[in-house]
Amino acid sequence: MEHLTIATVAETNPDFRRVLWTGEHSQLVIMTIPPDGEIGQEVHPDTDQILTFVSGVGEARINGETQEVAQGDLVCVPAGAEHNFVNTGPNPLVLYTVYGPPEHADGAVHHTKEEADEAEESGQDEPPA
């Protein structure tokens, strides 16, 4: 069995969002945000989120404040905080994030932001009940 680190798994992910694991109280997701891309302004009313950046550069925009992010940075977003993460560099912004409780459907894979937005709008990206 091949041993991979979460950073390696995240770096080789071609998809905008991929749910790797879902538990009863938390969820592990990897994301690849293309150059000039973003997660999109959002609020998770009842979900905390911890993001760790694997590669690339970008901006964390949380409750009207902006800070630069790069490889090795960790950002915590408390439930109810308005937030967005924007790729400001020439290469993909790669990260993994932990949601508590789960935010997305177990096993969800969204190849693009548009596909992720469509799944959310249609209700197909609901976390397990």
Structure tokens that stand for 40 in this block:
């999109």
Structure confidence at residue 124 as a pLDDT band (50, 70, 90):
confident
Per DSSP, the residues of the chain read -----HHHHHHT--SSEEEEEE-SS-EEEEEEEPTT-B--SEE-TT-EEEEEEEESEEEEEETTEEEEEETT-EEEE-TT-EEEEEE-SSS-EEEEEEEES--S-TT-EESSHHHHHHHHHHTTTPPP-
Structure confidence at residue 2 as a pLDDT band (50, 70, 90):
low
Structure confidence at residue 126 as a pLDDT band (50, 70, 90):
confident
Q: Can you give the pLDDT at residue 120? A: 83
Answering whether pTM is above 0.85, one says yes
Q: Which CATH superfamily is domain 6-122 in?
A: Jelly Rolls (2.60.120.10)
Across 21-37, average pLDDT: 96
Across 48-57, average pLDDT: 98
pLDDT in tens, 82-110: 999 999 999 999 999 999 999 888 888 99
